[in-house]
Structure 1
Amino acid sequence: MLVYSSIFCVAKGDIASSTGRTRPLDIKTFHSLNRLGAPVISPNQKQALFTTSCYDAKKNRTCTYLSYIDIVSGNITQLTDSSAGSNNPVSNPLWFDNQTVGFLRQGALYMQTLHANSSVSIVYNPLVPISNVIFHGDTLTFIAAVFPNATLEQSAELRKNKPSDSSMVFDNLWARHWDAWMTTEKPTLFAARVTRTEKSKWRVGHATNLAKRLPHFNDARVGWTVDNYEVDAQGQQAAFIVRRPAVDMAWATDVDIYVTPTNVSRPRLLTSGVYGAASNPAFSWDGRQLAWLQMETPGYEADINRIFLHTFATRKTVAIAYDWGQSPQSLTWSRDSSTLYAVTNDRGRSLIVAIDVATGRRKQLTTHGSATGVRTADRRHILYLNSKVHRPADLHILDVGSGASQQLTEANKDKLRDVYLGHAENFWFVGARGDRVHAWLVRPYGFNRQRRYPVALLLHGGPQQASTQGFVHGLWNPNMYASAGFVTVQLNFHGSPGYSRNFTDSVRYKWGDYPYVDVMSCIDYVSSHYNFVDSNRIVALGGSFGGYLANWLNGHTDRFCALVAHAGKFSTVSGYYSTDELWFPEHDLGKPWEPSGRDILEENNPERFAANFKTPTLFSHGERDFRIPISESLSAWAMLRRRNIPSRLVYFPGESHWITKPANAIRWYTEVLDWITSWTNTTAPYRIR
């Protein structure tokens, strides 16, 4: 049993509180916050590695450095450089042994001991950059992009001899994904044996391509990739995820799991006869079983995840906890291989649930916030990251027997010492179909019950996604709008997971119906139940499906002073033809050349109601967004400008579906907060521009 000392940075009270705080969460403070990576447990279960990332706006540099925490004493030791000017950010921490750690820098693997002032040395620097490295037993596995039927060395040579023209030729519709075009170089899984020399150096042997015997591996025209993988604790077997190479890759969700020995490419398919998407393979610690998450409905990317379990001795696969109505997002095994710890979305929270492998019985282990990065520390304890709306993610340790959880770090204690962060206040209202719909609000900075405040309504993506009550480092952090002077509301409209499967599935064919009814019912509820809300000053903001919904609102109501549509679909018809994943619109709406599909697409098409648009709208979009191409925002913006309706386009040439570069995110928040404060006649508590 682990004993924890009082050295731990346990919070005595919430970082975020409206009491005694002197300044709002401004744009630059928000983007300077530290972000912790998931813990990586040492072989002796006494220490954990984790990364910390932070951004320096003055230098326009992000640093990522490595630290480890002694789980027994609580002491934290920083191992690598943390200066924002450093050009050597680290990633992918791992343990070689209890005293030696590894990490990636610029596609090469390095090592460092835990001793004070220890030097960093290179372990493996192949000619092709590597990623997603795992070291178990004496086996090093990694992902590297190689040409068909080529080794790492041969691929490096082929890169040097590229043709003089830049053309790309495709027959398969799976030609691009998210923000990248498919090339003939395929991200592929490799394994190599590692030995230790007399001078305590680590030597990596020949790398074996474990995916080489896959169907169509050598076909340059098929754009499959190894998306993620896992290796057993003994380093003897690898399980990897790959989209089934076929002509229908762009409209089928058949994602398979293969298992292979790590010393030879001998992949064996485990998901034959199941045509939904498989994900999250996880080996039991004894190496005897493999669990994974499996969708069963072909073509439905938001289908419920079932837990499948394969036993290697019998080669049989069964489902466990099949009657569970929740859709888990990740799986982690207990050290004794008797329990699976699943993270699942439950009513706006990401909770950890223990599942008995033998019986399927479930026990909820956490009750609040958003849990990620779950790792088993020993037989009784879990290490994980947990955040709340008013608290950025920190490392926690959980006793799975008693349910007691203890916070181990306070990564942003100094940066948030005098900063206001509001709590989420839950409420429920009656929405579409007469269903109860969940929402919450965050009160504005400097809240005074005698005043009336504008409302910022945040619309999540999907539609089969959900807002959760965790701390968001991206574009949709509710406290960023609360600190600009808004009562900030988030709702999980129909389609959101975490309530019931029927609630999630109900949005099919109803994109413009049920979510719209929920949004309007939500603002009616807020306006009538909170006397500090100014119902004449409401704005709505959303990205992806939330951007689509903002466009839909513009054609159906004038209740909003202004709208913000980020990467939102304007036409369901043109959006179908230009997206990278056809299975999504085909399942939810239909095919535009079929009469029934065309009718449903048009019923849910914001562009069909373009003549009704009248609300000032800010559009933002990244050039490299292949999910919802920038033509959607350009079209809606052109229509509004041509009709002399106030509108603005914020264009990011180097971004994709998300705004990921910190400097661009700062610009995005600056433009958005300026837009909504201007149109609601709101004076922000700090200077936005």
Structure 2
Amino acid sequence: MRIAHFRCPDFHMQTALVRRLSLLLMLLIVAPVAAAAGNAKRPITAQDLWSFKRVGAPAISPDGKKVVVSVQEWSIEKNKSTASLWLVDTASGKLRRLTHGNSNDGSATWSHDGTRIAFVAVRGSDTTAGLYVIPVDGGEAERVLELPYGVSSPRWLPGDAALIVGTKVIPELAGTLDKASLAAMGKEAARRKGAKMTAYATEVQQFRWFDRNLTDNLANRLLRFDLASKTLTDLTPAQKRLFMHSGEVSFDLAPDGRQLALVIDSAPAPFVTVPNLDIYLVPTDGKGGMKNLTTDNPRIDAAPRFAPDGKSLLFTRQVLPAAPGSGELSRLWRYTFGDGTTTPMTAQVDLSIDGIAFSDEGGALWLQAEEQGHVPVFALEAAGAGLKKIVADGTNTGLDSASGRLVFLNENSNRAAELFTLDPGSSTPRQLTRFNEALFAQLDLGKVESHTFQGAAGDTVQLWLTYPPGYDPKKKYPLLQLLHGGPQTMVRDAFGYRWNPHVFASPGYIVGWVNRHGSTGFGEAFAMSMNGAWGDKPMEDILKANAYLFDKVPAIDRDNVAAAGASYGGYLATWMLGHTDAFKTLVNHAGVSDFIGQYGSDVTTALFSAEVMGGQPWANTEGMQRNNPIAYAKNFKTPMLITHGEKDYRVPYGQSLALYGILQNMGVPSRLVVFPDENHWILLPQNSIYWNYEVQSWLARYIGGKPMAKPEFAAAE
């Protein structure tokens, strides 16, 4: 009997086959792991905040087919920014970079025929901001105008042969703005800049604004600039001071270009009364005088917008005899040119109007207004009826429209601002740009939730809650309460670059941000409810928010709770320093700690009225001192970090020096960090990163967490 035998393959072939199969199996196992590792997200850092491209307010072309935006980028190494203009196709979202270079290009405006864009920039050898014009279809930008104190706010006149621009002048040297007058101003401006004697003197109350002195006695002017002849026509030759102390130039051009509406503060020197912003009608041919359209209101009239037919003018108005920023709503009004009457349009609407854009025919308009922690886009009939929410989510700003199309910026807590549009006839927003999508794809941003709870006086109070990256509900996390400033502002569903809750959460904190009493967006009564008692209801809201969150989120470590605030938020931190021991530590950036010292602020008349503060040093001193945090120094014991910029004129940094001195003398653990070249805000990249390091390191001392490493920066070249 024959037995059949099976013959094995060659041993070496067999071994090679096994190796190949093993390798293939290993690749199948490892490849997904490697891909997952390559796609692994990481917590956001303070450095990341300076890597985002920051999209500016859009300007839509007359036919509605294109939008131009200024996109700002920052260099941490160079500690400065650049900004370029980008064109966006509204149908496809296709992008084209319009300008390049090491400059900051902004304030873009379209010519009426849609072929050119004018913008403002400091380029090359420019010593001040110049006016540039660039063809939309290609070509180099041309500087068409330079002035001793720069150019701002350009707008094309119909026909595109001339533009309206803003500037500043030395009134006694301005003359007719001929070549000799401009040369004389340029010479004097250079002399002032290089002067070794640096003293300044004043006899008026309002002599500073934010981080600069106003004692140079400059005046704003609006000019007509003819492109062909290069001639200038001064439209406001009688103006001897700034239009507003901020230096802002706010105007709108009539559809036929024959006149413009300009905002000017009519309050007389020495500016110890509240501002009286009025709207003036100004001819654009330089003939005839200005006419004040709002003499009936001694308070705030602002944000003028001509109706498309030119027969009326919309604007916002505040009428109460109270300081600006005390919580009164800005309501929408209409001025009718035919009979000269002013009519309220949103008197029954409990919203403060921040932005206006008309539909193409003017039969309807879009509005921007804060509401319940969001900033929706609303639609309103031109007659003032039928208010309807169109875009509800996130924060929507920078409204502009043409040919029935609306464009705007939209952002939320987990995404920086990008350009969106509402197509004609549509109520569904469509995203056009994604400048930061790749960076956000790398980041592990914690969940953000909106909560409401019962606060002071039984009122419903809203808060935003941000969880740390990699949140595990089975673990315990310290709670950090952020205290927003203003005081009458709102914590929005928005992505902040200065106080970013995700960066605060990155060491492993749960972060709350309460829209406490005094916040806007929740009705006028709620916003004004803190006046005369700045600390009472807001502190009660924060403490009740703690209790609510302890119950709602068991992962919160109730033994490790801190609070941090800036400006009014710093006031509230100092108020709590003297009234509660509920926090392991407090952080106070640029906060008001002493009402007496705050009389050195640039906006004393705008904020420190008896109605708001409860009293004044010369009248009802007891009422004022009741609300003064420093009056409760005997109770100070909670450790506090204090930070401030020396160029802060809004809350003079002496406030922080005095508070720090008191804490040191009392033996209360405290640390002072001063930034010599910063104002009320920490705005430079390296300073901002270092500020976050100081804050995280201080918090980690008292409530734990993993703070960022100390940043190192290369020495300046």
TM-score of the superposed pair, with normalisation by structure 2: 0.87
Aligned mate of 2:264, from 239, 242, 252: 242
Letter in 1 for 2:211: D
- Alpha-carbon separation, structure 2, partners of 1:222 and 1:102: 24
Aligned mate of 1:261, from 261, 277, 283: 283
Partner of 1:47: 66
More divergent stretch after superposition (417-426 vs 42-51)? 417-426
- Alpha-carbon separation, structure 2, partners of 1:180 and 1:512: 30
- Alpha-carbon separation, structure 2, partners of 1:141 and 1:422: 47
Partner of 2:307: 284
Residue 155 (1) aligns with residue 212 (2): no
Letter in 2 for 1:536: D
Letter in 1 for 2:494: G
Q: 1:526 to 1:258 in 2, by over 3 A?
A: same
Deviation string 1:293-312 (CA, Å, 9 cap, x unpaired) is: 11101233132111111122
More divergent stretch after superposition (133-142 vs 479-488)? 133-142
Partner of 2:146: 125
The offset of 1:222, in angstroms, is 11
Partner of 1:12: none
Residue 301 (1) aligns with residue 324 (2): yes
The offset of 1:261, in angstroms, is 0.9
Q: 1:224 to 1:87 in 2, by over 3 A?
A: closer
Letter in 1 for 2:120: L
Partner of 2:530: 507
- Contact kept, 8 Å, 1:389 with 1:422, in 2: the verdict is no
- Contact kept, 8 Å, 2:531 with 2:613, in 1: the verdict is yes
Q: For 1:414, what is the secondary structure of its paired residue?
A: helix
Partner of 1:582: 605
Letter in 1 for 2:653: I
- Alpha-carbon separation, structure 1, partners of 2:223 and 2:341: 26
Partner of 2:116: 100
Partner of 1:200: none
Aligned mate of 2:208, from 154, 176, 194: 176
Q: 1:508 to 1:224 in 2, by over 3 A?
A: closer
Partner of 1:17: none
Q: 1:484 to 1:234 in 2, by over 3 A?
A: farther
- Alpha-carbon separation, structure 1, partners of 2:153 and 2:451: 41
Q: For 2:391, what is the secondary structure of its paired residue?
A: coil
- Bigger relative contact order, structure 1 or 2, given CA contacts below 8 A and separation 6+? 1
Aligned mate of 2:103, from 82, 88, 91: 88
Residue 229 (1) aligns with residue 254 (2): no
- Contact kept, 8 Å, 1:222 with 1:245, in 2: the verdict is no
- Number of matched pairs: 651
Aligned mate of 2:556, from 520, 533, 536: 533
The correspondence of residues 418-433 of structure 1 with structure 2, limited to 5 A, is 418-433=442-457
- Alpha-carbon separation, structure 2, partners of 1:438 and 1:226: 33
- Alpha-carbon separation, structure 2, partners of 1:480 and 1:175: 37
Deviation string 1:67-98 (CA, Å, 9 cap, x unpaired) is: 101112321101222xxxx5322111122342
Deviation string 1:194-221 (CA, Å, 9 cap, x unpaired) is: 34xxxxxxx36422222223xxx34799
Letter in 2 for 1:441: L
Residue 67 (1) aligns with residue 99 (2): no
The offset of 1:185, in angstroms, is 4.1
**Greater share of helix:** 2
- Alpha-carbon separation, structure 2, partners of 1:542 and 1:105: 35
- Contact kept, 8 Å, 2:219 with 2:240, in 1: the verdict is no
- Contact kept, 8 Å, 1:306 with 1:319, in 2: the verdict is yes
The percent of aligned pairs where both chains have the same amino acid is: 28
Partner of 1:58: 77
Aligned mate of 2:579, from 556, 575, 578: 556
Root-mean-square deviation over aligned CA pairs: 2.2
The offset of 1:360, in angstroms, is 2.7
The correspondence of residues 605-624 of structure 1 with structure 2, limited to 5 A, is 605-624=628-647
Partner of 2:137: 115
Deviation string 1:310-336 (CA, Å, 9 cap, x unpaired) is: 122332221112111111112222221
Aligned mate of 1:633, from 648, 656, 662: 656
- Alpha-carbon separation, structure 1, partners of 2:221 and 2:441: 45
- Alpha-carbon separation, structure 2, partners of 1:549 and 1:58: 35
The correspondence of residues 96-495 of structure 1 with structure 2, limited to 5 A, is 96=111, 97-106=113-122, 107-116=129-138, 118-137=139-158, 138=160, 139-149=162-172, 150-151=174-175, 152=177, 153=182, 154-160=184-190, 162=192, 165-195=197-227, 203=228, 205-213=230-238, 217-218=239-240, 227-247=249-269, 249-264=271-286, 266-302=289-325, 303-379=328-404, 381-399=405-423, 401-474=425-498, 476-495=499-518
Q: 1:448 to 1:243 in 2, by over 3 A?
A: same
- Alpha-carbon separation, structure 1, partners of 2:235 and 2:226: 16
- Contact kept, 8 Å, 1:300 with 1:584, in 2: the verdict is yes
Runs of 4+ in 1 over 6 A off after TM superposition: 219-224
Deviation string 1:331-384 (CA, Å, 9 cap, x unpaired) is: 2222212223221110000111112121432111111100011111422x2110
Q: For 1:671, what is the secondary structure of its paired residue?
A: helix
Letter in 1 for 2:493: Q
- Contact kept, 8 Å, 1:26 with 1:483, in 2: the verdict is yes
Deviation string 1:598-641 (CA, Å, 9 cap, x unpaired) is: 22211111111112111111111111211211011111111112
- Contact kept, 8 Å, 2:148 with 2:186, in 1: the verdict is yes
- Alpha-carbon separation, structure 2, partners of 1:267 and 1:230: 14
- Contact kept, 8 Å, 1:191 with 1:210, in 2: the verdict is yes
Aligned mate of 1:566, from 589, 592, 606: 589
Q: For 1:672, what is the secondary structure of its paired residue?
A: helix
More divergent stretch after superposition (104-113 vs 587-596)? 587-596
Letter in 1 for 2:213: W
Deviation string 1:561-587 (CA, Å, 9 cap, x unpaired) is: 211111101112332354533231114
Q: For 1:27, what is the secondary structure of its paired residue?
A: coil
- Alpha-carbon separation, structure 1, partners of 2:645 and 2:251: 29
Gaps in structure 2 of 5+ consecutive residues? 1-38, 123-128, 712-717
Deviation string 1:101-142 (CA, Å, 9 cap, x unpaired) is: 2221121112222335x2222222234311122223144112
- Alpha-carbon separation, structure 2, partners of 1:435 and 1:127: 54
- Alpha-carbon separation, structure 2, partners of 1:321 and 1:245: 26
- Alpha-carbon separation, structure 2, partners of 1:223 and 1:39: 26
Partner of 2:31: none
- Alpha-carbon separation, structure 2, partners of 1:325 and 1:128: 41
Partner of 1:26: 45
- Alpha-carbon separation, structure 1, partners of 2:544 and 2:599: 29
- Alpha-carbon separation, structure 2, partners of 1:221 and 1:30: 34
- Alpha-carbon separation, structure 2, partners of 1:632 and 1:205: 50
Gaps in structure 1 of 5+ consecutive residues? 1-19, 196-202
Partner of 1:198: none
Letter in 2 for 1:334: S
The offset of 1:21, in angstroms, is 5.3
Query: In terms of Rg, which structure is larger?
Result: 2
Deviation string 1:459-502 (CA, Å, 9 cap, x unpaired) is: 1112211111111112x211111222111111111011111211
Q: For 2:47, what is the secondary structure of its paired residue?
A: helix
Q: 1:160 to 1:483 in 2, by over 3 A?
A: closer
The offset of 1:595, in angstroms, is 4.1
